[in-house]
Amino acid sequence: DIQLTQSPSFLSTSVGDRVTITCRASQGISSYLAWYQQNPGKAPKLLIFAASTLQSGVPSRFSGSGSGTEFTLTISSLRPEDFATYYCQQFNSYPQTFGQGTRLEIK
């Protein structure tokens, strides 16, 4: 199975900050990676797929990059509604797997 490791697991940050979250795959997955945002008690929300394609309706302050084994999710300027948990997911092969999550907290 392909393991996805996110870093950091937790980040204390402020409104207006630029944030970068990394997702590393245990083997190459081309660009078969997605990013989700999840708020407590809610279903995940798709932000980015195919590593860098922004899902319809997602603000442009979110961006994704990478291929192979290293990927990043960047939020250019944090807004209050962005404080949530973020997950990466690979769909290169089965079983599909998720990273362990990165929780953003307001400093």
Partner 1 sequence: EVQLVESGGGLIQPGGSLRLSCAVSGFTVSSTSMSWVRQAPGKGLDWVSVIYSGGSTYYADSVKGRFTISRDSSKNTLYLQMNNLRAEDTAVYYCARVLTFLGGTAGPSDYWGQGTLVTVSS
Interface residues with partner 1 (CB under 8 A)?
1, 32, 34, 36, 38, 43-46, 49-50, 55, 87, 89, 91, 94-101
Q: Please name the residue that has the structure tokens 């979110």.
A: 62
| CA 54/CA 94 separation, integer angstroms | 24
Half-sphere exposure of 68 (CA within 13 A, CB side): 1
Q: Could you tell me the smallest distance in angstroms from the CB atom of residue 73 to partner 1?
A: 13
Of the two residues 22 and 38, which places its CB atom closer to partner 1 in the complex?
38
Please provide the size of the chain in residues.
Answer: 107
| CA 36/CA 66 separation, integer angstroms | 16
Of the two residues 17 and 24, which places its CB atom closer to partner 1 in the complex?
24
Of the two residues 32 and 82, which places its CB atom closer to partner 1 in the complex?
32
Q: Could you tell me the smallest distance in angstroms from the CB atom of residue 34 to partner 1?
A: 3
